[in-house]
Chains A and B, each alone.
Chain A
Amino acid sequence: MQFFFEVLIGGLLSGIMYSLVALGFVLIYKASGVFNFAQGAMVYLAALSVVGCMEKGAPLWLALILAFAVMTLFGIATEKFVLRKLVNQPPIALFMATIGLAFFVEGLAPMVFGSDPRALDLGIVDEPIESILESAGMVISKFDLVAAGVAAVLVTSLALFFQYTRIGRALRAVADDHQAALSIGIPLQHIWAIVWGVAGFVALVAGMLWGARNGVQFALTFTALKALPVLILGGFTSVPGAIVGGLIIGASEKLAEIYIPPVMQSLFGGNFGGIEGWFPYVLALLFLLVRPEGLFGERHIDRV
């Protein structure tokens, strides 16, 4: 039972990391209706720019600021050269364009900052918290706990930003109805650039945490693939959905990885590890069949 809880908590904490990436998707989807497949590439770009700048001699704080500048520029450029030209195209065309964008970034970023895997040290160690290990006998990583804390702060501040600032209100208006927002004088293109900037910031945070944990390498782009089932589960438009979805996916995939392979092994023989790769998708898929709009998504009525 103790082991079960250890796996569960470990899963929940890594789920938070998925949520961080999913959050970037939700922001952009809410404001512009674009399903941004390039979010994973953005995480990679952000982490690479940090280590790239640090290699050139910049201290961490400066590297972070520079990386944020890179992400903002990237957001503005994307809005100006890609999205603006695709207004009025069907959403699926926009989605495919972001796949192209992902490839573009995955090619460009390592050309600029180098492609060798590098370590990123944020000064937090990935080791068990001793007091919990002693008292409950469970291994809970310090690093995971810090990551969870960062995610919590990020989500809270985003929620406040959306709720209480002028830009936040404009953002919500744009998300509701582009035409209407335009007609009352909200500058749509600025808003989109800002959203991409914010999403870039979220990618930066995710890139830092993921990079510190697994190293800064191409595999960071796969974080997007981890975030997709989270989105399906939580609904594309919901910030709380991204968090809850991440927790569910994180916990269930770790539990599945521990408990399903032995069962299958006894049935078929052989080694059935690596369920993590598809389990979240199948879970999300089954969930979709029951509730197509996700946990917190809005139910959509077709008007004809």
Chain B
Amino acid sequence: MNMKLETLVIDPPAPTRKIGGVILDLQNISLRFGGVKALTDISFDIREHEIRAIIGPNGAGKSSMLNVINGVYHPQEGRIVFRGQERRQMEPHMAATQGIARTFQNIALFKGMTVLDNIMTGRITKMKSTFVEHALWFGRARQEELAHRRKAEEVIDFLEIQHIRKTPVGRLPYGLQKRVELGRALAAEPSMLLLDEPMAGMNVEEKQDMCRFILDVNDQFGTTIVLIEHDMGVVMDISDRVVVLDYGKKIGDGVPDEVKNNEEVIKAYLGAGH
């Protein structure tokens, strides 16, 4: 497809990132499904602009933790303080309007839509026009569609996926789908980005690309990143602080070097015998 694009300017990069104060504070979070305890009394905080990794063996409760942060699950106990405000019940769409975006462990793209439409959907909270305006292609509708298209194209350029913008995502290979999902999250211009195993199932090259994108996002836009990842090399390389979960409990928290040498963490990963 041959398309000449209008001027493509990515927002000017934010000044070199500086880790700020606590943006999200999780206090004594417990989550149960019926009799199953998914999370037990977990507390940790996330600072502005940092890359915060959550690691732990399978079933440790990492994804549940992300689901608590953006309101998919509601913990039975505990306090969540976001930007200085405590919140109780929150629906996922409210998390989105507050600037929290995320990707999923098993890709959760809209399979019947094109890459461009998926990314445009990421900007939905920023659109104000009503369905009547849409139906009549009138008023704010046209203007908004064009303005947001431009923003979506910026994301597409940033992730280097121009060539597939009109392909239905269902037809894309896994690695590209993961990238599009990141794009959809980025399109919302989030202040906090939750990434659930963004590199699972990728080869080394794809992982490198993904790392580059994550670091760039963090660096250029100052986005706070919460990352679940199994690849320890990646985690230790790119994250500022790491929290370790096991069986729904927190067993370690700190900068990568601290965590690496934490007795309990080693035990959880290597088994009790060591």
Contact = CB atoms under 8 A, between A and B. Distances in A.
Q: Do chains A and B touch in the complex (CB under 8 A)?
A: yes
A36 to B, nearest CB: 26
A301 B31 CA distance: 14
B67 A304 contact: yes
Interface residues of B, number: 7
Contact of A301 (B33, B63, B104): B33
7 contacts: A301-B33, A304-B63, A304-B67, A304-B72, A304-B104, A304-B105, A304-B108
Interface in B16-39: 33
Nearest to A299: B34
Contacts of B67: 304
Interface of B: 33, 63, 67, 72, 104-105, 108
Contacts of B105: 304
A304 B104 CA distance: 7
Interface of A: 301, 304
Contacts, number: 7
B272 to A, nearest CB: 29
Interface on chain A toward B: helix, strand, loop, or mixed SS?
loop
B63 to A, nearest CB: 7
Contacts of B63: 304
Contacts of A304: 63, 67, 72, 104-105, 108
B248 to A, nearest CB: 15
B187 to A, nearest CB: 20
B86 to A, nearest CB: 24
Contacts of B104: 304
Nearest to B63: A304
A117 B33 CA distance: 54
Nearest to B36: A301
Contacts of A301: 33
A216 to B, nearest CB: 44
A304 B228 CA distance: 14
A304 B72 CA distance: 9
Contacts of B108: 304
| Those 7 A-B pairs whose CB atoms lie nearest each other, nearest first | A301-B33, A304-B104, A304-B72, A304-B67, A304-B108, A304-B63, A304-B105
Nearest to B196: A304
B196 to A, nearest CB: 9
Nearest to B92: A304
Nearest to B33: A301
